[in-house]
Chains A and B, each alone.
Chain A
Amino acid sequence: MTLTMVTAGRVLNQLRHDRRTIALIMLAPCLIVGLVAWMFHGTPVLDQFGPVLVGFFPLFVMFLVTSVTTQRERSSGTLERLMTTPLRKGEFVAGYAVAFGVLATVQAFVVVGFALLVGMDVAGSVWLVLLVAVLDAVLGCTLGLACSAVARTEFQAVQMMPVVIIPQLVTAGIMMPRDQMPEVLEWVSRVLPLTYAVESLQDLARGAQWAGVRGAIGVLVLWIAGAGVVGVLTLRRRTE
């Protein structure tokens, strides 16, 4: 547990030195939310689309940041060095999840706050909206760690994004209601986690309470745990 916090502290320390990345992580989603609010001013589009952005951005950004960061740990040799220390693989993965969870919490407050400011209406609990956003971010982080074993270079790590994230976006029910999809794709969308994030956020915006979204939140937690386990299992202490 303590080495988890040592790792989380170190990752946060690295982020603290990179103010521009932090600024981009906080401001880029606000820019998009702001554009949508402006474009569809006076219509209820932001109420439908705002929750989607609030759910998608943490997943997308944290996946990308984690993939690139872990790839950097591999190529710089720091991961190899860490593997010779008492740090356990689970502590490494958990440390990353905690660090990006903290960053995601700040991001969620900023983005949700901004969305509310520019007119997104949330009839349900704003706290549950924040919770889903943070879970999405932690999921993005653990998926990034799980996929980093496959990517050999930073280019490949970035290319994992369209492979892992975009299909989730396509099948999440935003482009087409899920019940109109071909049956196989509807099944696929029922498995992928972004579907549940988007659905729960849209339900919350429409006024759902904990009882209405706890199932979807449970699925997200399961995905986080599953991706975390894959991340630990694919991390190799011994390499060629």
Chain B
Amino acid sequence: MVNNDDGAAVRARGLRIVRGARTVIDGLDLDVPAGQVVGLLGPSGSGKTTLLRSIVGVQANVTGDLTVLGAPAGSPGLRRRVGYMTQAASVYTDLSVIENLVHFAALAGRRGAAAHAAAADAVAAVDLGGHEKQQVGSLSGGERSRVSLAAVLVGDPELLVLDEPTVGLDPVLRRDLWDMFHRLSGEGRTLLVSSHVMDEAARCDRLLLLRGGALVADTTPDELLAQTGAPDAERAFLTLIDRANTGTGTGTDAGTASSGGVR
């Protein structure tokens, strides 16, 4: 897979995003290392979706530097290399599972047999075998969101930007999906996965903790626990926020200290 020199799949410098009258993100620096499963964690309203939308090039009013796979975010050439799963299942409810997937495979440049093969693989990957001919509108919420995830997989992207892909799924399926994320990263792909469920933090290679549009930490799961002395990610996150609030270390310091790579 193509990376730029320092191995960052996504690199933001001085990123600023304004929505209406509100500045959601103001001066964010961030790196998503290539070939890893990177968790973007934070409470709802922290700016996760806005950040993800800016990375895939559909967010308006973005200023600052934002480079994705070596090109400015939103460049036409990136649309073939980046796959985006929105938070709500953005697939056609009046089409069947397979019709949706063949459609999105075709948009990604696969036709005929190749599109059908990609769709069949994606169905297997998200464990929807047997539902291929079912209309998406008749599926449960969790199943729909898996169709939405499969619609990313059929495009075979280098960077997968997934907005809360595991919400509402049962634990076994969640584990299977996280295993798949690591399999995909093992092939050299980068996954940026948002979640507001802190216990998913442990499954990531790297963590970006976002709060109020600012990076509270850029670390690994082990470092996060070691640094805060907390027993789990949820309490570690609280510790970091408390520290940031009392001024015993600003947000990004926590990350810079541990990663040493953020300039």
Chain A interface (Cβ < 8 Å from any Cβ of B): 2-3, 6, 9-10, 13-14, 17-18, 76-78, 80-87, 236-240
Is the pair B88, A76 in contact by a Cβ cutoff of 8 Å?
Answer: yes
> How far is B58's CA from A1's CA once the two chains are assembled, in angstroms?
23
Is the pair A81, B61 in contact by a Cβ cutoff of 8 Å?
Answer: no
Identify which of B19, B62, B93 contacts A76 (C-beta below 8 A). B93
Chain B interface (Cβ < 8 Å from any Cβ of A): 19-20, 53, 56-62, 74, 76, 79-80, 82-84, 86, 88-95, 99, 103-104, 106-109, 111, 135, 151, 155
Is the pair B107, A13 in contact by a Cβ cutoff of 8 Å?
Answer: no
Is the pair B60, A81 in contact by a Cβ cutoff of 8 Å?
Answer: no
Identify which of A17, A82, A85, A236 contacts B60 (C-beta below 8 A). A236
A17 neighbours in B (Cβ, 8 Å): 94-95, 135
A14 neighbours in B (Cβ, 8 Å): 92, 94-95
Main secondary structure of the interface of B (DSSP, over half): loop
For A76, A80, A85, A240, which residue has the most chain B Cβ atoms within 10 angstroms?
Answer: A85
Is the pair B107, A6 in contact by a Cβ cutoff of 8 Å?
Answer: yes
Q: How far is the CB of B263 from chain A (nearest CB, A)?
A: 28
Name 11 interchain pairs, CB-CB below 8 A, sorted by A.
A3-B107, A9-B103, A10-B103, A77-B88, A81-B151, A84-B56, A84-B84, A86-B79, A237-B57, A237-B74, A240-B19
Is the pair A86, B107 in contact by a Cβ cutoff of 8 Å?
Answer: yes
Question: Given A85-B108, A85-B155, A13–B95 Cβ distance below 8 Å?
Answer: yes
B80 neighbours in A (Cβ, 8 Å): 86
> How far is B79's CA from A237's CA once the two chains are assembled, in angstroms?
12
> How far is B112's CA from A6's CA once the two chains are assembled, in angstroms?
11
Question: Given A13-B95, A76-B93, A86–B19 Cβ distance below 8 Å?
Answer: no
Residue of A with least CB distance to B78: A84
